[in-house]
C-alpha cells in the first residue's frame, strides 16, 4: 500500500513538472526578438522569448554589405535566450542580427554609433 501511494505521488509530481514547462494556451506563437543598442552602453543586448524551448540556435551579425562580422552557435534549453555582446568588436554603422532556431528565423537591424 505504501509503495502504491509513493508511486502515485511521484506520477502526479512528474505531471506537474511537465505541465508547467509546456506552452501556455494564451501565448503568442511568434517568438519575440529584441536587439537593443544604445549610444550610452558598451553592450548590445539580445533578448529572445518564445513559448517553447528554443533549442539549437545560430546568431549572425552582418554589416550593410552582407559580410558576416559575428557568428555564434549554441543551444538554449529554455524558452528565453539573453546575450550581451561587446559593441567594441563590431564596425560602426548599420548592422543586421539574424537569430535562427528550429521554429523561427528573425532578422533585426540595428546601428552601432
Domains of the chain: 28-112 (2.60.40.3080)
Picking from 77, 76, 78, 64, the residue whose alpha carbon sits closest to that of residue 100 is 76
Question: Is 70 exceeded by the pLDDT of residue 26?
Answer: no
| pLDDT value for 24 | 53
DSSP for residue 113: -
- Average pLDDT, integer, range 87-105: 91
Q: Which residue has the higher pLDDT, 13 or 70?
A: 70
Average pLDDT over residues 82-97: 92
Would you say residue 16 has pLDDT above 50? no
87 touches 43 (CB < 8 A): yes
Per-residue cell: 63? 554589416
Decide: residue 81, CB within 10 A, 0-12 exposed, 13-18 middle, 19+ buried: buried
| pLDDT tens per residue, range 29-88 | 778 889 988 888 999 999 999 888 999 999 999 999 999 999 999 999 999 999 999 999
- Alpha helix (H) ranges present in 38-112? none
Amino acid at each position: 500500500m505504501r509503495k502504491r501511494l509513493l508511486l502515485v505521488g511521484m506520477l502526479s509530481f512528474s505531471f506537474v513538472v511537465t505541465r508547467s514547462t509546456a506552452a501556455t494556451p494564451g501565448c503568442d506563437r511568434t517568438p519575440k526578438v529584441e536587439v537593443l543598442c544604445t549610444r550610452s552602453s558598451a553592450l548590445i543586448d539580445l533578448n529572445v522569448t518564445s513559448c517553447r524551448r528554443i533549442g539549437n540556435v545560430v546568431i549572425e551579425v552582418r554589416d550593410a554589405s552582407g559580410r558576416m562580422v559575428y557568428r555564434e552557435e549554441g543551444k538554449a534549453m529554455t524558452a528565453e535566450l539573453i546575450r550581451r555582446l561587446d559593441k567594441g568588436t563590431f564596425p560602426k554603422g548599420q548592422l543586421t542580427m539574424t537569430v535562427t532556431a528550429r521554429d523561427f528565423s528573425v532578422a533585426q537591424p540595428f546601428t552601432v554609433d
